[in-house]
Structure 1
Amino acid sequence: MTARILIVEDEVLVAMEMEAIIEESGFQPVGIAADSLEALKLAEDKPDVALVDLNLRDGLTGPDVGRELAKRGIVVVFVTANPRLLADGIPGALGVVEKPLDDGLIASIISFAIAKREGRDVVPPACFLPFSGDVASRQVGGRHAHG
């Protein structure tokens, strides 16, 4: 079954480009949400993974959207130009990647998120900043990072 991906992004050109890359990579876009209400409505279609920006049409609502989507069992990866805003992480979310993203990176982030959803032990892409769990304990700078 093809993984279903929700895009939560208010910049229409960025969202449309992400949607095209997702389709070209063999995944199925569920839709594009520009604000928190639209994101929660599209989440009813039960996507496997959500790529969530922080600043949406209705303000800095991405973190709250991510929390709610994670509670619903959706794997959340934040995609933002301001990853420092998530320094403390978001409960239930997998992690964050910094914009801008190239085509191959979007596909590798989604593949990583799907593998984690399936319970596989996989190494994240180099640009991925994990929030917690076994991903955070991977080797960093020759030592194990604990957190």
Structure 2
Amino acid sequence: MPQKVLIVEDEYLIALDMEAALEDAGFISAGIASTREEVRAKVRQNRPDIALVDLHLADGLTGHLIGEELGKLGARVVFVTANPSLVAQGVPHALGVIEKPADEDSLLDVVRWASEASMHTQTSQLPPRFQRFA
């Protein structure tokens, strides 16, 4: 069954590009959100399996909080940010981070890996450019 991916990004053109690439690769969009409230509404409508979360959003530096909330709900969270050092110590319930700009292939590699994350072990190969949280 295709995985549902929520995109949490306040730059709408970037979010649309991500969504198109994911859908072309066979994933289902769970929507695009740019604030904590929008994320909560999207989750009520369509609980995502995976969430791609930027850190700086329309309501400020809330991405790490959103990521933790989504992780607690069972979503596999990957941060997609130009500032990976802000989450270098990790975020509870999140898988890791990939630095922006992330080309389409790198993004899809990370989402494919996250879609199978429950089967991965510590020795499994991580996607290039992905930094897994301990």
TM-score by length of 2: 0.94
Query: What stretches of structure 1 move > 4 A for 4+ residues in a row?
Result: none
How large is the RMSD of aligned CA atoms in angstroms? 0.9
The aligned counterpart of 2:128 is 126
Identity %: 47
Larger radius of gyration: 1
Q: Is the 8 A contact 1:40 1:69 kept in 2?
A: no
Q: Structure 1: where are the runs of 5+ without partners?
A: 133-147
Q: Structure 2: where are the runs of 5+ without partners?
A: none
Give the C-alpha shift of residue 92 in structure 1: 0.8
Q: Which has the higher contact order (CA 8 A, sep 6+)?
A: 2
The aligned counterpart of 1:75 is 76
Q: Is the 8 A contact 2:76 2:94 kept in 1?
A: yes
**CA offsets 1:59-109 (integer angstroms, 9 cap, x no match):** 000000000000000000000000000121101100000001111111111
Q: Pick the structure with more strand per residue.
A: 2
Give 3-state SS (helix, strand or coil) of 2:127's partner. coil
Q: How does 1:3-14 map to 2 (within 5 A)?
A: 3-14=3-14
The aligned counterpart of 2:102 is 101
Q: How does 1:1-147 map to 2 (within 5 A)?
A: 1-44=1-44, 45-117=46-118, 119-121=119-121, 122-132=124-134
Give the C-alpha shift of residue 120 in structure 1: 3.3
**CA offsets 1:39-74 (integer angstroms, 9 cap, x no match):** 122122111100000000000000000000000000
